[in-house]
Chain A
Amino acid sequence: MPEVATRELTFAQAIREALAEEMRRDSRVCIFGEDVAEAGTPFKVLSGLVEEFGRERVMDTPISEAGFTGMGVGAAMTGLRPVVDIMFGDFLTLTMDQLVNQAAKVHYMSGGTWKVPMVLRTTLGATRRSAAQHSQSLHAWLSHVPGLKVVMPSTPYDAKGLLKTAIRDENPVVFFEDKMMYKQKGPVPEEEYTIPFGAADVKRKGEDITIVATSSMVQVALGAAELLEKIGVGAEVIDPRTTWPLDEKTLIESAKKTSRAIVVDEGYGRYGVTGEIASVIAEGAFYNLEAPVKRMGAMHVPIPFSPPLEDVTVPTEQTVFEAARTLCGKG
């Protein structure tokens, strides 16, 4: 992050600006999905793009996630740079064959001859009172599949730089946006920049415990770190930014330094991103660890609707703080 931030943008504005800049830079970049044109998506992330680039490049599709994602694969293979919009991450289930059997495997199965430079943007995150089919965080499924890259920005700055990298990448990239974060503001420089994949970002330095957090959980971890500070515990918060490729080195080095680690991610804990990262740390920093690596993910239930039920399904500042305190022997 630059030392002098010139202006602040919301997460949604940062996404939109990345798309607009890439569309101006490269006429092959196009967007399609449900209600992406005049509506600008239900979250208004794409507002204004159709006015600048026209309906030839910002295309409303029918409600046919499998169909238009498959078309994204074919279009990417043959010269376009499509950015496919899947409104809710929950609808990824409908695109699975296109993503997993087609997009992820085309390059490999063809012996490296065809490429799929496609980006699929979608959302994750609960606590929007949207119930079980509009609240899931399913990025672990796609991180599991060789051939895909998976991006999970946590700030407007990261969102813009990572999305530009995603659009320029020669591979299929799945880009997860926390829908609760769209209005969050942060510094974004005016000048051009990109952020490489596989480079974790230390969001806060600390000496006593490492908290690895992704996407929606980065702010939660930073909040927990503030609470920990008050009891004399210095927490280092690391955001991997991409679950694949994964910056194992930075995670391991931090855990070696602090000797304790918690991994927080909004996907399900079981068989999820937290398990993978915890094992990377356990394998890489085993002899430096003072405690087992702790995993914190979504409760293993379909996301419930009622606020008091939904709110307990995801990690919060308080639950992360409590877990860290216990791990540091201060609770």
Chain B
Amino acid sequence: MTMATELSKANATLKTEQWMRMYRRMVMIREFEEQVNELYTRALMPGLAHLYVGEEAVAVGICEALQPTDYITSTHRGHGHCVAKGASPDRMFAELLGKEAGYCRGKGGSMHIADPATGNLGANAIVGGSAGIATGAALSSKRLGTGRVAVCFFGEGALGQGVLYEVMNLAALWKLPVIYVCENNLYTEYTHYSETTAGDILARGTAFGVHAESVDGQDVRAVYAAAQRLVDLARKGEGPAFLVCATYRYSGHHVGDINREYYRSKQEEQEWKTKRDPIKNFTAWLIDQKLSDASTLGGMQSEVRAEMKAAVEFAIAAPYPTPEQAEEDVYA
């Protein structure tokens, strides 16, 4: 089956409400990140945050193919994964502001959001740091027969970390239900990936006998179709997969990375934003297919924005943890 026919077949079976849910999730991520940037510029957020704007189709396309009980591990650029897996924005904002109502009671912050209720094993601030955790979750799934799939999100920067290859080898040997999702957003912090990545990226998976493929990470339909297929195979016991998503990070490495011209041009950024924006292109497709219309989609966008603003207000008003809580949760 060709990629195109497979895509249209998968698309045909999707209900409109599912497309709209995916659209809404993508808009949620974008609006969430807009608010994060706002909190940073208003000096209301302690520390920094790494924005996911531009990469929304990857998280949403992948998580749409997962069950609520499936596992994900996320990265320092993790807000999108958490939202896509079902985290609630108010508790996420509360965590970003270090409030007790946050997912981690204020102990984790932007880079460590974790939530057992949505299968989120945690965002990880060590690049490639969650590869072992995700693969271990897949081992549990296989040993306990739960049928759960684990998705390990990481950026192309993690391709430089040896532990990733150690666990890919193990996952292939033991046929574990884990999907390694590489978000190639072209920049390893402030360095173009071509300066840090030798050889062929997909070959890093195929060398271990891990099924490997690449997909346009700006096309949520393509990401979803690929994810659905790979998740299905993993769940059936066919073993791990490696999916490389070509995407782009609209903002800097973090919110404070404003002047970026020493590593990439404004023209390049502009081109991705205008020609390959995942939300714009998905909007156009939804309208073209008569699955929705501009006013409905615009209305949804306003609704999400208001929801995000309310979530921010909740977080701002929420109390800080008391100092004695610093010593809690060290041991279970």
Q: Which residues of A contact B (CB under 8 A)?
A: 28, 30, 56, 59, 61-62, 64, 66-80, 82, 97-98, 101-102, 106-115, 117, 146-147, 149, 170-171
Contacts and interface: CB of A to CB of B under 8 A. Distances in A.
Given A62-B166, A69-B132, A70-B133, A110 B112 contact: yes
A70 B167 contact: yes
A71 B116 contact: no
B93 to A, nearest CB: 15
Contacts of A73: 132-133, 136
A28 B139 CA distance: 12
Contact of B114 (A61, A80, A110): A110
B28 to A, nearest CB: 22
B136 A109 contact: no
Nearest to B123: A109
B121 A66 contact: no
A107 B331 contact: yes
Binding site secondary structure of chain B? mixed
Interface in B140-164: 140-141, 143-144, 146, 148, 150, 162-163
A102 B330 contact: no
B270 to A, nearest CB: 37
22 contacts: A28-B144, A66-B132, A68-B170, A70-B132, A70-B133, A70-B135, A70-B167, A71-B132, A71-B135, A71-B167, A72-B136, A74-B73, A74-B133, A74-B135, A75-B139, A98-B163, A102-B129, A102-B133, A108-B107, A110-B104, A110-B112, A111-B108
A109 B133 contact: no
Given A75-B136, A113-B103, 9 more contacts: A70-B136, A74-B134, A74-B140, A77-B133, A78-B141, A80-B140, A97-B126, A97-B129, A146-B330
A74 B136 contact: yes
A171 B170 contact: no
B219 to A, nearest CB: 30
A64 B139 contact: no
A72 B136 CA distance: 6
Interface in B3-29: none
A114 to B, nearest CB: 6
A106 B134 CA distance: 13
A111 B143 contact: no
Nearest to A170: B332
Contacts of A117: 332
Contacts, number: 154
Given A111-B106, A111-B329, A115-B332, A62 B170 contact: yes
B309 interface: no
Contacts of A79: 140, 144, 146
A77 B121 contact: yes
A114 B129 contact: no
A171 B136 contact: no
Given A114-B121, A146-B330, A66 B166 contact: yes
Contacts of B332: 107, 112, 115, 117, 170-171
Nearest to A98: B132
Contacts of A170: 331-332
Contacts of A30: 143
Interface in B112-136: 112, 114-116, 121-122, 124, 126, 129-136
Nearest to B111: A109
B143 to A, nearest CB: 6
A77 to B, nearest CB: 6
Nearest to B138: A74
A227 to B, nearest CB: 40
B71 interface: yes
A64 to B, nearest CB: 4
A47 B116 CA distance: 37
Top 5 A-B residue pairs of the complex, sorted by shortest distance between their CB atoms: A70-B132, A74-B136, A67-B166, A111-B105, A74-B133
Contacts of B124: 102
A59 B136 CA distance: 13
A325 to B, nearest CB: 41
A80 B162 CA distance: 25
Of the listed residues B135, B138, B140, B329, the one surrounded by the most CB atoms of chain A closer than 10 A to its CB is B140
A62 B173 contact: yes
B102 interface: yes
Contacts of A62: 166, 169-170, 173
A67 B165 CA distance: 8
Contacts of B134: 74
A320 B5 CA distance: 79
B328 interface: yes
B171 to A, nearest CB: 9
A76 B121 CA distance: 11
Contacts of A76: 136
B96 interface: no
B104 A109 contact: yes
Contacts of A66: 132, 162-163, 166
Contacts of A149: 331
Contact of A77 (B106, B137, B162, B170): B137
B114 to A, nearest CB: 4
Of the listed residues A30, A72, A107, A114, the one surrounded by the most CB atoms of chain B closer than 10 A to its CB is A114
Nearest to B124: A102
Contacts of B136: 70-78, 80, 82
B71 A114 contact: no
A53 B104 CA distance: 38
Contacts of B169: 62, 64, 67
Contact of A114 (B116, B141, B170, B330): B116
B242 to A, nearest CB: 15
Given A62-B170, A66-B166, A71-B170, A109 B121 contact: no
Nearest to A106: B122
Contact of A74 (B106, B139, B146): B139
Of the listed residues A61, A72, A73, A111, the one surrounded by the most CB atoms of chain B closer than 10 A to its CB is A111
Contacts of A69: 132
